[in-house]
């Protein structure tokens, strides 16, 4: 297929943008990129698809999200992290059935595809059938609490031991890694320090190096995390702890990373460890603001993630880009910090680097996988625009996504899912979400603060 007459933001090495550009897809790869007139002349027999009035970008890459949590959208609003986790999210998730988990993954992936995300990090199901690309982090843990505080105990329905978590992850890696035409990669998804013993961390990181299995982990999200590290003997910082147990390195993505000192940032840069920035989650849970400008200045690779729906309320990475661009300007009084171009890099090529996939996705170049998104700009809230990158980051939302192609296949066309039944998915999600809240005994608490009259 030859996709023509679009404005194409390639995010290639030169950061070329083609006005009236075209992309030739053969199989699951990009065979050519350039001006429409040139490619139409070069490939006169090729079937064509006009994307006139659209901006085409590389498929967005979410470096952190929780598919299971979408059934809990809006069930834990206006709470700080520990109360949010211990009193709502862990209790609700602990009452999931396997069928709930499947429904949650389907509604999450449907939303991601419709809003332009073509690859994500975390969770464990429905990647094959939906057509999306996923790096799936299987939970690794052996302590059922947050920061070893007994007041912050996990719901029993979520607690796993070494056998079910670490060894279970290895079994899943052996079974699923590289499947679905290499759209599936299996990772270790370690719980936050305090939820994993140092011995299990060391065993996991040794297995990671031995088998080339990447690792992702929440870290330094809230002040309580930093206080936990400081309470150890001897006292440590977030990154000195991670370094001691072998977590740092180019195959690790650490999530949130809000409470870092200069030494932590230097250690991240020296070890080529990646960071997943989730500004909406950090702001909504009052966790703080990640030091992204300092991380970027130090040479740390920073990707972008939505986190879960209960602390973001969407899985829309397009909206996440806008907040990522403006939140640091407000804090620093410097409007030049984290410009739109940097944020689009975070959501595309930086995310691909974090996942170890930058040789095949993250930019629109010959030989890379055909993962791209077409945003329909023929709308009153998107016109006029002057910089295509600015229009995507500051004006567009996931609702403006018209087409999504992953691995050369059209998964969203005219804004509609082609591989999944959207109405069936949202109806099932609505039903199961309310059932979980009732099963967990939180049916009234999740309704908000104002009286609801049925």
User: What pLDDT score does 162 carry?
Assistant: 86
Query: 375 and 409, same structural domain?
Result: yes
Phi, psi at 192, each rounded to 5°: -60, 145
pLDDT of amino acid 385? 98
290 located within any domain: yes
Asked if residue 298 and residue 277 are part of one domain, the reply reads: yes
Domain containing residue 321: CATH number: 3.20.20.140
How far is Cα of residue 80 from the mean position of the Cα atoms in its chain? 21
213-264: pLDDT as tens digits: 999 999 999 998 999 999 999 999 999 999 999 999 999 999 999 999 999 9
- Residue 60's closest CA among 416, 283, 393? 393
Q: Are residues 167 and 212 in the same domain?
A: yes
Q: For residues 296 and 252, state if they share a domain.
A: yes
Query: Are 64 and 53 in the same domain?
Result: no
pLDDT tens digits, 34-55: 999 999 999 999 999 999 999 9
Residues in Cβ contact with 392 at an 8 Å cutoff, skipping those fewer than 6 apart: 9, 55, 57, 318, 321, 340, 344, 375
Tokens for 108, please give them. 């999450």
What are the phi and psi torsion angles at 150 (to 5°)? -60, -20
The contacts of residue 320 (CB under 8 Å, 6+ apart) are: 278, 279, 280, 304, 305, 306, 312, 347
Q: How many domains does the chain have?
A: 2
> Is 80 exceeded by the pLDDT of residue 365?
yes
Rounded to 5°, angle at Cα 226 from 220 and 231: 140
Where a domain ends, among 328, 354, 380?
354
Burial of 133 (0-12, 13-18, 19+ CB in 10 A): buried
In a domain, 451, yes or no: no
Strand 149-153 and strand 145-146: pairing? Answer: antiparallel
The fraction of the chain above a pLDDT of 70, given in percent, is 96
Lowest mean pLDDT, pick from 148-152, 182-186, 398-402: 148-152
Q: Are residues 152 and 191 in the same domain?
A: yes
Together in a domain, 48 and 125: no
What is the reported pTM? 0.95
**Is 280 found in the same domain as 202?**
yes
Domain that holds residue 112: 60-354
| Residue 202 counted as domain residue | yes
Integer Cα distance of 155 and 71 in angstroms: 17
- Give yes or no for a contact between 358 and 351, defined as CB atoms under 8 angstroms apart: no
The last residue of one of the domains, among 417, 432, 449, is: 417
At 15, which CATH number? 2.30.40.10
Q: What confidence tens digit (pLDDT) does each residue in 403-449 have?
A: 999 999 999 999 999 999 999 999 999 999 999 999 999 998 999 88
**Helices (DSSP H) in 287-414: which residue ranges?**
292-297, 317-332, 340-347, 349-354, 388-390
Residue 262 domain flag: yes
**324, 384: one domain:** no
Same domain, 174 and 271: yes
**128 within a domain of the structure (yes/no):** yes
Pick the closest to residue 276 from 298, 297, 295 (CA basis).
Answer: 295
Over residues 105-139, the pLDDT tens digits come to 999 999 999 999 999 998 555 678 899 999 999 88
What gap in Å lies between CA 303 and CA 288, rounded to an integer?
Answer: 18
Average pLDDT value for the chain: 94
216 and 327, same domain (yes or no): yes
pLDDT band at 143 (very low <50, low <70, confident <90, very high): confident
Of the chain, the end-to-end C-alpha distance in Å amounts to 52
Domain annotation covers residue 307 = yes
Is 162 contained in some domain? Answer: yes
Distance of alpha carbon 393 from alpha carbon 416, whole angstroms: 22
**If you count DSSP H runs as helices and E runs as strands, how many of each does the chain have, helices first?**
19, 19
- Mean local confidence (pLDDT), 306-335: 96
Kindly state whether residues 167 and 297 are assigned to the same domain. Answer: yes
User: Would you place residue 86 in the very low, low, confident or very high pLDDT band (cuts 50, 70, 90)?
Assistant: confident
Residues in the chain: 454
Residue 256 lies in a domain: yes
Q: Identify the band that residue 149 occupies on the pLDDT scale cut at 50, 70 and 90.
A: low
């Amino acid at each position: 297929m030859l996709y023509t007459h679009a404005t194409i933001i390639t995010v290639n090495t030169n950061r070329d943008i083609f006005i009236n550009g075209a992309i030739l897809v053969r199989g699951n790869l990009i065979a050519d990129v350039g001006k429409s007139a040139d490619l139409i002349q070069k490939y006169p027999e090729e079937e064509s698809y006009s994307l006139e009035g659209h901006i085409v970008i590389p498929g967005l890459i979410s470096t952190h999200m929780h598919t299971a949590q979408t059934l809990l959208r809006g069930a834990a609003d206006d709470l700080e992290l520990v109360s949010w986790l211990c009193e709502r999210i862990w209790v609700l998730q602990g009452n999931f059935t396997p069928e709930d988990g499947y429904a949650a993954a389907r509604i999450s992936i449907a939303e991601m595809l419709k809003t332009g995300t073509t690859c994500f990090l975390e969770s464990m199901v429905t990647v094959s059938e939906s057509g999306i690309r996923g790096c799936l982090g299987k939970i690794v843990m052996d302590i059922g609490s947050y920061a070893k505080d007994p007041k912050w105990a996990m719901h029993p329905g979520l607690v796993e031991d070494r056998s079910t978590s670490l060894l279970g992850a290895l079994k899943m890696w052996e079974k699923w890694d590289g499947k679905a035409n290499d759209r599936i990669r299996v990772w270790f998804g370690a719980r936050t320090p305090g939820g994993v013993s140092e011995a299990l961390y060391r065993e996991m990181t040794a297995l990671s190096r031995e088998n080339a299995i990447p690792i992702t982990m929440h870290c330094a999200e809230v002040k309580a995390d930093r206080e936990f590290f400081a309470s150890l003997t001897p006292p440590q910082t977030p990154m000195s702890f991670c370094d001691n147990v072998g977590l740092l390195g180019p195959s690790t993505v650490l999530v949130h990373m809000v409470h870092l000192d200069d030494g932590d940032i230097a250690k991240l840069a020296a070890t080529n460890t990646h960071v997943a920035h989730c500004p909406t989650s950090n702001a909504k849970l009052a966790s703080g603001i990640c030091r992204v400008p300092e991380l970027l200045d130090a040479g740390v690779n920073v990707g972008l993630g939505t986190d879960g729906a209960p602390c973001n309320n969407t899985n829309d990475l397009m909206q996440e880009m806008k907040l990522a661009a403006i939140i640091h300007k407000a804090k620093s009084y410097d409007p030049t910090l984290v410009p739109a171009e940097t944020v689009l890099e975070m959501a595309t090529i930086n995310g691909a680097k974090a996942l170890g996939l930058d040789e095949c996705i993250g930019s629109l170049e010959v030989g890379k996988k055909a993962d791209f998104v077409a945003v329909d700009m023929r709308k009153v809230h998107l016109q006029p625009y002057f910089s295509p990158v600015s229009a995507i980051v500051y004006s567009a939302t996931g609702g403006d996504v018209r087409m999504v192609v992953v691995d050369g296949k059209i998964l969203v066309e005219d804004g509609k899912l082609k591989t999944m039944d959207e109405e069936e998915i949202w109806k099932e999600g609505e039903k199961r979400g309310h059932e979980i809240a009732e099963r967990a005994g939180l049916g009234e608490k999740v309704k908000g603060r104002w009286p609801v009259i049925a």
